[in-house]
């Protein structure tokens, strides 16, 4: 995308969604998983650089930042707190709990109530907030009834420590089960133009005005290769494959909140520029048909 356009990028161009009906955020957010070490483990190679990216994101109108206690673990939340607290008016920090770490790229669900309560308290401390705007159950633990996991979260919500609650990697029947315990305002599943196995969950979210937050939002693999349909369409519109992937998500549904992550300010600005990429319905259909 031309530099003149990049100089004017702002996440506000992506539109707005109100989490829970009362917490408006710009739809194009920032995912803070990558501001950690390799394998989402330990400290980043450039902590000061990571802090600059976070600050630049807010400067560019990003007011929805997604993280988790398991990123690092603890590292991503701590860097966000150190970089951005006290938070600018309207900035929403979403975090997650319920996955433990045993090493780089290793994740194990733990949904025991006492563990989740501890993690909420620690997230509050690291993020330097008195209330978490959006807390999400990172995974449902097969060993613990979801009613037990969310029961303690409901108590913390009533105590004023959590504002809204979401889920991650779930299907519609699991959302239904969770909603019997607590109001669910968001769902975070893997989803992009080349990976649409959660179309059913997206449809459920649309019907119930639940935010659908796609992680891994940028197409990869064969779909994103040079000379492919996405690459060709991107070049035709003076955009990148990454921008086209994000623009597809934004036009796909008004409940979608993409959260691309990066450790580069240049790439951050490029991602936010996706809010200004526009294709016709016919062009989007042609691209979608090519990836089936």
Residues catalogued as catalytic: 71
Structure tokens at 92: 């929403």
Largest CA distance in the chain: 54
Residue 31 CA: distances (Å) to CA of 150, 193, 260: 24, 18, 5
Structure tokens at 276: 């200004």
Report long-range pairs for 252-255 (Cβ below 8 Å, ≥24 apart): 252/202, 253/202, 253/205, 253/206, 253/212, 254/15, 254/17, 254/206, 255/17, 255/202, 255/205, 255/206, 255/209, 255/210, 255/211, 255/212
Q: CA-CA distance, 102 to 50, in Å (whole number)?
A: 24
Q: CA-CA distance, 73 to 94, in Å (whole number)?
A: 16
């Amino acid at each position: 995308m031309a530099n003149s356009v990049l100089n004017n990028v702002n996440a506000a161009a992506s539109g707005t969604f109100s989490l829970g009906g009362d917490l408006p955020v710009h739809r194009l957010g920032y995912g803070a998983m990558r501001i950690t070490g390799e394998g989402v483990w330990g400290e980043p190679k450039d902590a000061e650089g990571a802090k600059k990216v976070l600050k630049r994101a807010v400067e560019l109108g990003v007011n929805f930042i997604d993280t988790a206690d398991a990123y690092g673990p603890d590292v991503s939340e701590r860097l966000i707190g150190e970089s951005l607290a006290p938070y600018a008016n309207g900035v929403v920090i979403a975090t997650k709990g319920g996955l433990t770490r045993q090493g780089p790229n290793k994740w194990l669900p733990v949904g025991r109530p006492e563990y989740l309560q501890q993690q909420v308290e620690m997230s509050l401390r690291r993020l330097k907030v008195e209330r978490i705007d959006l807390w999400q159950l990172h995974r449902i633990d097969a060993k613990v009834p979801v009613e037990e996991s969310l029961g303690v979260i409901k108590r913390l919500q009533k105590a004023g420590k959590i504002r809204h609650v979401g889920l991650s990697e779930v299907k519609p029947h699991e959302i239904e089960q969770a909603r019997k315990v607590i109001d669910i305002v968001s769902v975070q599943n893997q989803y992009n133009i080349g990976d649409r196995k959660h179309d059913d969950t997206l449809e459920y979210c649309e019907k119930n005005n639940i935010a659908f937050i796609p992680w891994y939002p940028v197409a990869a693999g064969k779909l994103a290769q040079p000379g492919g349909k996405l690459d060709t369409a991107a070049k035709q519109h003076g955009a990148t494959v990454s921008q086209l992937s994000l623009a597809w998500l934004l036009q796909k549904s008004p409940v979608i909140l993409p959260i691309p992550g990066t450790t580069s300010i240049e790439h951050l600005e490029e991602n936010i520029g996706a809010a200004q990429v526009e294709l016709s319905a016919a062009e989007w259909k042609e691209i979608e048909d090519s990836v089936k």
